[in-house]
Amino acid sequence: MEAAPPVKVQKHAHEHEHEPPKAANKPAFDDLAEHIDFGKCSVLNAADAGALKEVLCGVKQEGQSATSIKSDCDEQLLFGVVFAQPVRLQSIGFSAPSAMPRTVKLFANKDNMAFDDVEGLAPTQVVTVAGGGTQIPLQFVKFQNVNSITVFVEDNQDDEDVTCVERLKFVGDALHKTNMNDLKKCG
């Protein structure tokens, strides 16, 4: 019995060595404003709660300055944000012209919370906002299947009696790429 002749193996890796890794494996994170169910959202202790949609969308009317929500009785604000479908949150962002939030407690999937509730419950995550207009990364594993989020602004960077929020932005992606509010009922 004779041995088979050795097979020559050519290296193929050298053709791809210097190519950057493909980004196709990384999820694309976007502003989640289009996934918010505005009819179910709320803000407590706001001087003008009617500005909530503009603050969550970041949309301002042409020719007008940006709308903001300012706290009323003290520096605290309590946002209740409901998503139209489950989302994964990657980061949260705040912008404000002054008295921007500093200490923010986040509660995932806790609906209809009041100020008494946020004092007695352990938050999903506490973030400290430093500077202005920045996105703050969240502990991604804790925000994988979020239907709603309560955002408790405890104090502000200027130690003022009034906290101001011009934009509250959630970045992440929808778990299901279909907007459930767009579906029509059959029959």
Domains of the chain: 28-171 (2.60.120.470)
Distance, in Å, from the CA atom of 34 to the CA atom of 36, rounded to the nearest integer, reads 6
Compute the average pLDDT of residues 83-109.
Answer: 96
Which strand (E) or helix (H) includes residue 79?
strand 77-95
Amino acid at 54: E
Distance, in Å, from the CA atom of 49 to the CA atom of 94, rounded to the nearest integer, reads 17
Q: Could you tell me how far CA 81 lies from the centroid of its own chain?
A: 10
Compute the average pLDDT of residues 158-172.
Answer: 95
> Comparing 8-12, 144-148, 163-167, which segment has the lowest mean pLDDT?
8-12
Token duo for residue 26: 């990384």
The bridge status of strand 164-165 relative to strand 30-31 is unpaired
Q: Could you tell me the CA-to-CA distances from 69 to 90, 137, 148, 169 in Å, in that order?
A: 24, 23, 20, 14
Rg of the Cα trace of the chain? 23
- pLDDT grade, residue 132 (50/70/90)? confident
